[in-house]
Amino acid sequence: MAKTALITGVTGQDGAYLSELLLNKGYKVVGAERRTSTRNRQRLDELNISDDIVFTDFDLADQGNMERTLETHQPDEVYNLAAQSFVALSFEQPVMTGDITGLAVARLLEAIRTVNPKIRFYQASTSEMFGKVQAVPQDETTPFYPRSPYGVAKLYAHWITANYRESYGLLACSGILFNHESPLRGVEFVTRKITLAVARIKHGLQKELRLGNLDAKRDWGYAKEYVEGMYLMQQQETPSDYVLATGETHTVGEFVEAAFTAADLAWRDYVVIDPAFVRPAEVDLLLGNPGKAKRELKWAPKTAFRELVALMVEADLKRVDR
Ligand code: GDR
């Protein structure tokens, strides 16, 4: 019997790649989607998998809706990838972020516990929980110190997931994922903002690129590889939490330089520093140690930093060309 996976946040970058991976493995994929006035399935269309997914209306604010969704679709695995995931916005909308990124995970765990406690649960935790880092590199044992309402909300979600595992024996795990990027990344995030700008500048459609802090360091990997880690975590007999990262860190400035260089442009001619993009509190340095995932999941990142930048620039050059 084919397994059924329910994916919240199915229309996002990770939802799209995870859907593709699970469909290739023969899963029935139920895409939990928030109803909005405009259709938002471009990423799934781009991967040509929209027709293979069973969509269902879903809202992280609505407990009854969650329970009915689980009863109707009877998933074996739930992947909670939905969230208000833009760090900068969380400073403007901390309460909404707390509700949807944090508290909603308790709703979902309650729904699982009520409907079928055998459902396996994956929570999208994040390196943003390390925030003002207490050790370098960061692994599963590093203390947390979030630096944004988003990080605080994700930390609640992380601990409530562990708590339901320990209190009720739910098969729940969290992937502590460091930044993971791709051509499907939303344009509000810095990597995609940069690669799209490079492509538009190259085609004469844009004159400058306005950015905030270029000194922040991130451990950037390729999203398509990170969703494999999510799947592997769900297949472990005993659920546990895992860091997924590359073990390399680069500044935003280095990403800028690599992206402009990939299109034969000199970044200094185009980049303007704009305080509007500087955050009230910053996460200065993230560097993950994926040792546990390597040992226990046999997971390892393959795409190196410059390769990732180049593939994103190339994809945006093609898009803009079209
Ligand atoms: P991040 O990603 O906050 O790390 O969280 P983002 O790409 O938004 O920022 C990375 C770094 O770049 C700096 N920066 C800018 N960022 C944006 N978005 N726009 C700018 O113009 C800009 N200029 C400089 C930021 O200050 C920051 O230091 C991402 C999200 O996907 C989270 O949901 C996820 O949990 C983590 O990655 C892992």
Closest ligand 1 atom, residue 279 Cα: 26
Residue 290 lies in a domain: no
22 in helix, strand or coil?
helix
Same domain for 230 and 193, yes or no, is no
Task: Answer whether residue 36 shows pLDDT above 90.
Answer: no
The domain that holds 129 is classified in CATH as 3.40.50.720
Q: How confident is the model at residue 38 (pLDDT cuts 50, 70, 90)?
A: confident
Same domain for 13 and 161, yes or no, is yes
Which range, of 27-41, 65-79, 233-247, 270-284, averages the lowest pLDDT? 27-41
110 in helix, strand or coil?
helix
Mean pLDDT of 177-198: 98
DSSP states along 139-175: -TTSPP---SHHHHHHHHHHHHHHHHHHHH--EEEEE
41 within ligand 1 shell (Cβ under 6 A) = no
Same domain for 125 and 192, yes or no, is no
Residue 262 has a pLDDT of 98
Residue 312 lies in a domain: yes
Q: How confident is the model at residue 39 (pLDDT cuts 50, 70, 90)?
A: confident
Average pLDDT, the chain: 98
Residue 289 lies in a domain: no
Measured torsion, CA atoms of residues 60, 77, 55, 52, in degrees rounded to the nearest 10: 150
Residue 88 lies in a domain: yes
Task: Answer whether residue 114 shows pLDDT above 90.
Answer: yes
Same domain for 94 and 232, yes or no, is yes
Same domain for 240 and 312, yes or no, is no
Residue 113 lies in a domain: yes
CA distance linking residue 271 with residue 181, whole number of Å:
21
Same domain for 203 and 171, yes or no, is no
Same domain for 126 and 196, yes or no, is no
CA distance linking residue 246 with residue 302, whole number of Å:
8
Closest ligand 1 atom, residue 214 Cα: 24
Same domain for 170 and 302, yes or no, is no
92 is catalytic: no
Strands 250-251 and 217-218: antiparallel
133 within ligand 1 shell (Cβ under 6 A) = no
Mean pLDDT of 179-197: 98
217 within ligand 1 shell (Cβ under 6 A) = no
Task: Answer whether residue 1 shows pLDDT above 90.
Answer: no
Range of the domain at 195: 187-219+248-284+295-321
Residue 141 lies in a domain: yes
Residue 26 lies in a domain: yes
Q: How far is the CA of 84 from the centre of ligand 1 (A)?
A: 13
Q: How confident is the model at residue 37 (pLDDT cuts 50, 70, 90)?
A: confident
Catalytic residue among 27, 122, 150, 231: 150
Number of domains in the chain: 2
Same domain for 237 and 261, yes or no, is no
Mean pLDDT of 219-230: 98
Same domain for 158 and 41, yes or no, is yes
CA distance linking residue 262 with residue 309, whole number of Å:
8
Q: If you take atom 10 of ligand 1, which residue's CA is the nearest one?
A: 190
The domain that holds 273 is classified in CATH as 3.90.25.10
pLDDT digits (tens, 9 = 90+) for 118-167: 999 999 999 999 999 999 999 999 999 999 999 999 999 999 999 999 99
Residue 16 lies in a domain: yes
Q: How far is the CA of 87 from the centre of ligand 1 (A)?
A: 7
Mean pLDDT of 168-195: 98
Same domain for 307 and 238, yes or no, is no
Same domain for 136 and 256, yes or no, is no
Q: How far is the CA of 235 from the centre of ligand 1 (A)?
A: 30
Task: Answer whether residue 250 shows pLDDT above 90.
Answer: yes
150 is catalytic: yes
What angle is formed at CA 251 by the lines to CA 246 and CA 254, rounded to 5 degrees? 100
Q: What percent of the chain has pLDDT over 90?
A: 98
126 is catalytic: yes
82 within ligand 1 shell (Cβ under 6 A) = no
Q: How far is the CA of 282 from the centre of ligand 1 (A)?
A: 9
